[in-house]
Amino acid sequence: MRITSIIVLFSLYSTIINAAPTAVPTLEKRQETEQDPGFNTNIFDSFKPLEVTASPITREYTLKLAKAELAPDGFSRIVLISNGRYPGPMIRANKGDQIVIHVKNNLNDFTTIHWHGIFQKGTTFYDGVAGLTQCLIPTGTTFTYNFTGGEQYGTYWWHSNFGSQYVDGLAGPLIIHDPKDPYLNDYDEEFVMTLSDWHHVYSEKLVKIRMTPGYKGFNPVPNSGLISGRGRCDCSKAPQGSKCVPDNPLAVYVVEKGKRYRFRIINIGAEAPFTFSIDQHPLRIIEVEGENVKPVTLNKINIAVGQRYSVIVNADKEVNNFWIRATIVKQCIHVSPETINVNSSLNYMVTGTLRYNGAPDAYPTTQEWEEKVLNCRDVDHNLLKLNPPRPPPANPTDNFTFRITFDDFDSVGHALVNGFPFKPELEDPTVNKMMYDTTPSMLKQNQNAFVYDTQNGVVEISIINENMATHPFHFVTYIITIINHSSPIL
């Protein structure tokens, strides 16, 4: 998690520094305003692509942020919700549409909302990263984001980017449909599915303990895992006096025999990677994080934090119930005796149900695929080929090396890039600085700014992970090409 935030910083700086003032578009509305009629529907409802319009239109939404007592895994706690739900509502648009989102903050706390994976070309100030691209949104106020995905399409998500708020519930899907999707005729309907780890203690308290000088443990161990906001914890281990329902409902997706479904799967968790599968139903991957790929069929796929996969599932089996499995990869959750919640009764086998219409309301009895996958690893990059193919960039004009380490900094364990942790300046965001007299060389070392200024240039980045843990890295404002990937040295 901490490393991911630092890598995102580089991408944002690249966008900020290279965005000429004349490139910022005038954000007038295009044609009529149209909100997706399914905006506030159940996450377990299937849907079809939005109606195609003659030209891009404006789609307008409102996210109402608040706090409520919910029990996603049976254990009642305060959850940060949007429009009365967790996960938050799905925002949809067609390729090229203008997306206008009014964020009403009733959290009694500051917030910002980040649109994960959207390039924000010319609208860096709407990227929603606290201390980098905008100031905080005060409680009791409304902030309007206004941007377009341009030529982007695919599966994205939105989440709070202030503190650790999204870990407490402020997250939801963001889907951009492509009317010319090459796989449009390969599926009949769509579903969105989120995967997440879940904590019973408010994340702000966990972070405070984690960042206490002298703390020697790893990141907090979750209490449960969730599929689309539903899971089940061990209530026998809940603290005395707490409210906990032992047989909390699990996620259920209902399909029609004979239909083909596109599942857009998003890991919105804090730290846990998942191994995802559906018993007896192969997964045909067609899109990875906003890029169409040549179809490849696997029985199990690993999905790290922030990653998104679109898979086609054929409902071609007998009418029955089948386990959906999202197994938290235990080997990727590091613990020591000092780790917060080290004695968690976490069930790493997170499950839901794929139910054929007409099947009984009962738990599945199906067996897991026997296929084994490598722990803490992505889907093999060599299997994922762009569709249509696109040649890699030309020879690099700029080169950077990121050495990633974990070490104490002021007696607090930090993730370091080239020896420095990152510290956002919430009261004076980077975008503000760059609009006035600040030059990149004037930024503090703890801003971890890596700067290039070559028009139409190509940046080559070498990431060297010098610690024992595996970590996802997000370059959320660029499409990157992996040209080399080494195996870990054990």
Dump pLDDT digits (tens) for 133-143.
Answer: 999 999 999 99
Position with higher pLDDT, 349 vs 484: 349
The pLDDT tens digits of the residues spanning 70-93 come to: 999 999 999 999 999 999 999 999
pLDDT at 473: 79
Domains delineated in the chain? 195-383 (2.60.40.420)
Sheet holding 171-177, edge to edge: 91-94, 171-177, 154-160, 113-116
Residues 472 and 377: beta-carbon distance below 8 Å: no
pLDDT of 9 higher than 50: no
CB 336 within 8 A of CB 247: no
Which element (helix H / strand E) includes 354?
Answer: strand 349-356
Please give the residue that has the higher pLDDT: either 414 or 294.
294
In 3D, which of 287, 35, 254 has the Cα closest to residue 156? 287
Q: How far apart are CA 148 and CA 287, in angstroms?
A: 20
Q: Fill in the amino acid letter for 461.
A: I
- One-letter amino acid of 157: W
User: Which amino acid is it at 156?
Assistant: Y
pLDDT of residue 16: 30
pLDDT of residue 490: 52
Summarize pLDDT for 362-376 with one digit per residue, the tens: 999 999 999 888 888
Give strand pairing partners of 398.
Answer: 459
User: Of 22, 355, 77, 74, which is closest to residue 205 (Cα–Cα)?
Assistant: 77
- Going by their DSSP bridges, the two strands 230-231 and 252-255 should be labelled as unpaired
Average pLDDT, the chain: 89
User: Assign residue 52 a region: left if phi > 0, alpha if psi is -120 to 50, beta otherwise?
Assistant: beta
Q: Judge whether residue 456 has pLDDT over 50.
A: yes
Band (pLDDT 50/70/90 cuts) for residue 14 is very low
Cis peptide before 87 (omega within 30 of 0): yes
Predicted local distance difference test score (pLDDT) of residue 422: 87
Q: What band does 33 get if pLDDT is binned at 50, 70 and 90?
A: low
What is the amino acid identity at position 300? K
**Structure confidence at residue 484 (pLDDT):** 83
The predicted-structure confidence for 232-246, as pLDDT tens digits, reads as follows 999 999 999 999 999
Radius of gyration (C-alpha) of the chain in whole angstroms: 22
pTM over 0.95: no
Identify whether the C-beta of residue 407 lies closer than 8 Å to the C-beta of residue 3: no
Angle CA(62)–CA(63)–CA(67) in degrees, nearest 5? Answer: 150
pLDDT at position 34 is 63
> What's the rounded mean pLDDT across residues 303-328?
97
113: β partners: 160
Residue 200 has pLDDT above 50, yes or no: yes
Name the burial class of residue 219, with classes exposed (0-12), middle (13-18) and buried (19+) by CB atoms within 10 angstroms of its CB. buried
Among candidate residues 208, 225, 213, the one with its CA nearest the CA of residue 163 = 208
Q: What pLDDT does residue 212 have?
A: 94
For 82-121, write each residue's pLDDT tens digit: 999 999 999 999 999 999 999 999 999 999 999 999 999 9
pLDDT at 287: 98
Cβ count within 10 A of residue 169:
29
Q: What are the backbone dihedrals phi and psi of residue 14, each rounded to the nearest 5 degrees, phi first? A: -60, -40
Per-residue pLDDT at 402 exceeds 80: yes
Closest CA to 413 of 255, 246, 215: 215
Query: At which residue do the structure tokens 């005395």 appear?
Result: 240
Query: Does the pLDDT of residue 30 top 70, yes or no?
Result: no
For the ranges 29-43, 177-191, 447-461, 464-478, the one whose mean pLDDT is highest = 177-191
